[in-house]
Amino acid sequence: MVGVDLLDLDSSLTEEERQIRAVVRRVVDERVRPHVAGWYEAGEVPARELAREFGALGLLGMHLTGYGCAGSTAVAYGLACLELEAGDSGVRSLVSVQGSLAMYAIWRYGSEEQKQRWLPAMATGEAIGCFGLTEPDHGSDPGSMTTRARRDGDDWILHGTKMWITNAPIADVAVIWARTDEGVRGFAVPMDTPGVTAREIGRKMSLRASVTGEIALDDVRLPADARLPEAIGLKAPLGCLTEARHGIVWGALGAARDCLETALTYATTRTQFGRPLAGFQLTQAKLADMAVEWHKGYLLALHLGRLADAGRLRPEQVSVGKLNNVREALAIARECRTILGANGVSGDYPVMRHANNLESVLTYEGTSEIHQLVIGQRLTGVSAFT
Among 120, 139, 190, 229, contact with ligand FAD (rule: CB under 6 A) = 139
Quick check: is 365 catalytic?
yes
Smallest distance from the beta carbon of 361 to ligand FAD, in angstroms? 8
> x/- string (CB under 6 A) for ligand FAD, residues 191-230?
----------------x----x------------------
Residue nearest to ligand FAD (CB): 139
Residue 239 touches ligand FAD, criterion: CB under 6 A: no
**Separation of alpha carbons 119 and 98, rounded Å:** 10
**E strand or H helix that includes residue 313:** none
Q: Output the CA torsion 27→303→285→279 (10° steps).
A: -40
Residue 235 touches ligand FAD, criterion: CB under 6 A: no
Q: What is the DSSP string of 162-222?
A: EEEEETGGG-SEEEEEEEETTEEEEEEEETTSTTEEEEE----SS-TTS-EEEEEEEEEEE
**Separation of alpha carbons 247 and 301, rounded Å:** 9
Report, in angstroms and rounded to the nearest whole number, the Rg of the chain calculated over CA atoms.
Answer: 21
* Active-site entry in 30, 44, 365, 369: 365
Helices 315-339 and 235-269, interaxial angle, to 10°?
Answer: 20
Window of 20-28, 39-47, 112-120, 158-166 that interacts with ligand FAD by CB under 6 A:
158-166
Among 134, 147, 283, 324, contact with ligand FAD (rule: CB under 6 A) = 134
Smallest distance from the beta carbon of 14 to ligand FAD, in angstroms? 31
Backbone phi, psi, residue 192, to 5°:
-95, 10
CB neighbourhood size of 44 (10 A): 12
Among 30, 41, 219, 369, contact with ligand FAD (rule: CB under 6 A) = 369
CB of 218 or CB of 369, closer to ligand FAD: 369
CB neighbourhood size of 152 (10 A): 10
Residue 385 touches ligand FAD, criterion: CB under 6 A: yes
CB of 114 or CB of 360, closer to ligand FAD: 360
Residue 133 touches ligand FAD, criterion: CB under 6 A: yes
- Within 8 A by CB and 6+ apart from 176, the residues are 132, 147, 158, 162, 186, 187, 189, 215, 217
Among 58, 61, 78, 132, contact with ligand FAD (rule: CB under 6 A) = 132
Smallest distance from the beta carbon of 132 to ligand FAD, in angstroms? 6
List the helix and strand counts (H, then E) for the chain: 12, 10
The percent helix, strand, coil of the chain (3-state, each to 5) is 60, 15, 25
Window of 37-45, 182-190, 251-259, 367-375 that interacts with ligand FAD by CB under 6 A:
367-375
Please list every residue from 82 through 121 that binds ligand FAD, using CB under 6 A. Answer: 97
* Distance, CA of 324 to chain centre: 15
Window of 9-17, 67-75, 162-170, 265-273 that interacts with ligand FAD by CB under 6 A:
162-170
Which chain residues interact with ligand FAD by CB under 6 A? 97, 131-134, 139-140, 164-166, 207, 212, 360, 363-364, 367, 369-370, 373, 385
What residues are labeled active site?
A: 365
